[in-house]
Amino acid sequence: MLFHPTIMALLLWSAAAVAGVAVAAAYGWTILMEWNPASGSARQLVLERRTYLVSTLMAVVLWGEVLSLWLFVYNADAMAVMFVGAMCAVGSLNADPYGFPALIAKIALFFLAVVWLQVNRADNQGWDYPLVRVKYALLLILVPAVVLSAGLQYAYFSGLRADVLTSCCSKLFEVDREGVGADMSSLAPMPALVLLYGGLGLTLLLSVWTWRRPVLSAALAPVAAAVFVAVMVSVVSVVSTYVYAQPQHHCPFCLLKPEYGYVGYALYLPLFVGTALAVSSWPVHHFRRAASLAQAAPAMTRSMAWVAAACYVAVAVVCTWIIAASELYYFR
Amino acid sequence: MNHFFARHLYLVDFTVASLGRRRGRNLGLFAVYVLLVFVLASVSLMTHGLRREAQAILESSPEIVVQRMIAGRNDPVPTGAVAAITGIRGVRAVQGRLWGYYYDAGMRANYTLMVPPDRPVESGAVVIGGGIARLRQLDTGDIVHFMAPDGRIVRFTVSGTLDSASELVSADLVLMNEGDFRAFFGFPADRFTDVVASVRNPREVGTVASKIALALPEARVVTRADMLRTYEALFDWRGGMVAVVLSGAVLAFVILAWDKAAGLSADERREIGVLKAIGWETSDVIAVKFWEGALVSLLAFLAGYVLAYGHVFYFSGALFEPALKGWAILYPRFRLVPEINGQQVATIFFFTVVPYTLATIFPIWRAATIDPDTVMR
Amino acid sequence: MTDTVLISLKKVSKIHNEGRPNEVQAVVGIDLDIARGKVTVLRGASGSGKTTLLTVIGCLARPSSGRVALDGRDISGMPERFLTRIRQETFGFVFQGFNLLRGMSALDNIMLPAYPQAPPHRWLRRRALDLLSMLRLEHRADTPVEMLSGGEAQRTAIARALVNDPPILIADEPTANLDTALTREFLGIAETLKAQGKTLILTSHDPRVFEAGMVDHVVTLRDGRVEERR
Distances (CA, A) of A248 to A188, A191, A260, B317: 11, 17, 16, 43
* B163 closest CA partner among B338, B337, B334: B334
Average pLDDT over residues B310-337: 65
> Do B316 and B246 share a structural domain?
yes
Best mutation target among B358, B366, B370 (most A Cβ atoms within 10 Å) is B358
Q: Is the pLDDT of residue C211 over 50?
A: yes
**Helix/strand/coil for C92:** strand
Q: Is the pLDDT of residue C91 over 80?
A: yes
Fill in the amino acid letter for C225.
R
Tens-place pLDDT, residues B97-142: 999 989 888 888 888 899 988 888 889 999 998 888 888 888 889 9
* Percent share of chain A, pLDDT over 70: 93
Interchain pair A71, B347: CB under 8 A: yes
Tens-place pLDDT, residues A47-81: 999 999 999 999 999 889 999 999 999 999 888 88
> Do B235 and B143 share a structural domain?
no
Distances (CA, A) of B79 to B67, B82, B83, B188, C175: 12, 6, 8, 10, 107
Whole-number Å distance between alpha carbons of A120 and B15 = 26
What pLDDT does B374 receive? 83
CB-based contact A41:C64 (threshold 8 Å):
yes
Average pLDDT over residues B183-198: 92
- Range with the lowest mean pLDDT among A321-330, B193-202, B324-333? B324-333
DSSP state at residue A172: B
> Do B176 and B306 share a structural domain?
no
Please count the residues of chain A.
332
Average pLDDT over residues C72-101: 90
Q: What share of chain A is helix, strand, coil (3-state, %, to 5)?
A: 75, 0, 25
What pLDDT does B203 receive? 77
Residue A83 binned pLDDT confidence (cut-offs 50, 70, 90): confident
Return residues 59-78 of C near B (CB < 8 Å): 60-61
Q: Is the pLDDT of residue B185 over 50?
A: yes
> Do B129 and B7 share a structural domain?
no
Touching C (3+ Cβ pairs <8 A), the chains are: A, B
Whole-number Å distance between alpha carbons of C4 and C38 = 9
Interchain pair B354, A64: CB under 8 A: yes
**What's the total number of domains in chain B?**
2
Whole-number Å distance between alpha carbons of C220 and C226 = 6
Query: Where is pLDDT greater, at A252 or B332?
Result: A252
> Do B103 and B26 share a structural domain?
no
Task: Tell me how close the Cα of A12 comes to any Cα of chain B, in angstroms.
Answer: 8
DSSP state at residue A235: I
- Cβ of residue C112 closer than 8 Å to a chain B Cβ: yes
> Do B48 and B73 share a structural domain?
no
Backbone angle region of B124, left / alpha / beta, with phi > 0 → left and psi within -120 to 50 → alpha: left
What pLDDT does B334 receive? 57
Whole-number Å distance between alpha carbons of C228 and C215 = 15
Average pLDDT over residues C31-51: 91
**Helix/strand/coil for B14:** helix
Q: From start to end of chain A, where are the E strands?
A: none
Residues 6+ apart with CB under 8 A from B367: B261, B264, B268, B269, B272, B285, B289
The whole-chain average pLDDT of chain A stands at: 87
The C-alpha angle with vertex A288 and arms to A285 and A293, in degrees rounded to 5, equals: 120
> Do B337 and B324 share a structural domain?
yes
What pLDDT does A173 receive? 46
Backbone dihedral angles phi then psi of residue C104, each to the nearest 5 degrees: -110, 155
Distances (CA, A) of A259 to A9, A85, A243, A263: 26, 21, 10, 9
Residue B175 has, within 13 A of its CA and on its CB side, a CA count of 18
Q: Does domain C2-100+162-229 have CATH number 3.40.50.300?
A: yes
Tens-place pLDDT, residues C167-206: 999 999 998 878 899 999 999 999 999 999 999 999 998 8
Nearest CA in chain B to A13: B350
Interchain pair A5, B228: CB under 8 A: no
Nearest CA in chain A to C12: A40
* Percent share of chain B, pLDDT over 90: 40
**Helix/strand/coil for A215:** helix
Residue A134 binned pLDDT confidence (cut-offs 50, 70, 90): confident
Residue B60 binned pLDDT confidence (cut-offs 50, 70, 90): confident
> Do B101 and B184 share a structural domain?
yes
Average pLDDT over residues B341-357: 91
> Do B318 and B286 share a structural domain?
yes
Environment class of A173 (CB within 10 Å of its CB; exposed 0-12, middle 13-18, buried 19+):
buried
Q: Is the pLDDT of residue B330 over 70?
A: no
Whole-number Å distance between alpha carbons of B369 and C50 = 24
Task: Tell me how close the Cα of C87 comes to any Cα of chain B, in angstroms.
Answer: 6
Distances (CA, A) of A101 to A97, A109, A155, A275, C51: 8, 12, 10, 20, 60
What pLDDT does A322 receive? 93
Domain enclosing residue B292, as ranges: 2-58+230-376
Average pLDDT over residues C35-58: 92
Best mutation target among B23, B278, B288 (most C Cβ atoms within 10 Å) is B278
The whole-chain average pLDDT of chain B stands at: 86
What pLDDT does A167 receive? 42
Best mutation target among C54, C99, C145, C160 (most B Cβ atoms within 10 Å) is C99
Nearest CA in chain C to A127: C82
Task: Tell me how close the Cα of A110 comes to any Cα of chain C, in angstroms.
Answer: 27
> Do B143 and B195 share a structural domain?
yes
Distances (CA, A) of B331 to A175, B42, B110, B167, B308: 37, 18, 11, 9, 20
Interchain pair C60, B376: CB under 8 A: yes
Specify the pTM: 0.85
Q: Which of A1, A83, A172 sits opposite B209 (nearest CB)?
A: A172
- Cβ of residue A34 closer than 8 Å to a chain C Cβ: no
- Cβ of residue A129 closer than 8 Å to a chain C Cβ: yes
Touching B (3+ Cβ pairs <8 A), the chains are: A, C
Q: Is the pLDDT of residue B324 over 60?
A: no
Cβ–Cβ contacts within 10 Å for residue B101, how many? 10
> Do B271 and B216 share a structural domain?
no
Which of B165, B198, B223 is at the close of a domain? B223
* B25 closest CA partner among B264, B303, B297: B264
Q: Is the pLDDT of residue B164 over 80?
A: no
Task: Tell me how close the Cα of A64 comes to any Cα of chain C, in angstroms.
Answer: 26
Tens-place pLDDT, residues B237-294: 878 888 888 888 889 999 999 998 888 888 889 999 999 999 999 999 999 999 999 9
Give the residue extent of every domain in chain A: 1-163, 183-332
Q: Which of A180-184, B119-123, B190-194, B212-216 has the highest mean pLDDT?
A: B190-194
What pLDDT does A165 receive? 60
Q: Which ipTM was obtained for this model?
A: 0.93
Chain C CB contacts of A34 below 8 Å: none
Task: Tell me how close the Cα of C219 comes to any Cα of chain A, in angstroms.
Answer: 25
Nearest CA in chain C to B21: C103
Q: Which of C51, C80, C112 sits opposite B376 (nearest CB)?
A: C51
> Do B235 and B202 share a structural domain?
no
Q: Is the pLDDT of residue C127 over 90?
A: yes
Task: Tell me how close the Cα of B225 comes to any Cα of chain A, in angstroms.
Answer: 8
* C62 closest CA partner among B371, B197, A47: B371
Residue C41, beta-bridge partner list = C202, C218
Q: Is the pLDDT of residue A180 over 60?
A: no
Interchain pair A3, B236: CB under 8 A: yes
Q: Is the pLDDT of residue A38 over 80?
A: no
CB-based contact A279:A111 (threshold 8 Å):
yes
Residue A259 binned pLDDT confidence (cut-offs 50, 70, 90): confident
Whole-number Å distance between alpha carbons of B255 and A110 = 29
Residue C229 binned pLDDT confidence (cut-offs 50, 70, 90): confident
The order of strands in the sheet holding C24-35 is C24-35, C5-16, C65-70, C73-74
Q: Is the pLDDT of residue A269 over 80?
A: yes
What pLDDT does A78 receive? 86
Interchain pair A168, B72: CB under 8 A: yes
Q: Is the pLDDT of residue A168 over 60?
A: no
DSSP state at residue A186: -
Residue A178 binned pLDDT confidence (cut-offs 50, 70, 90): very low
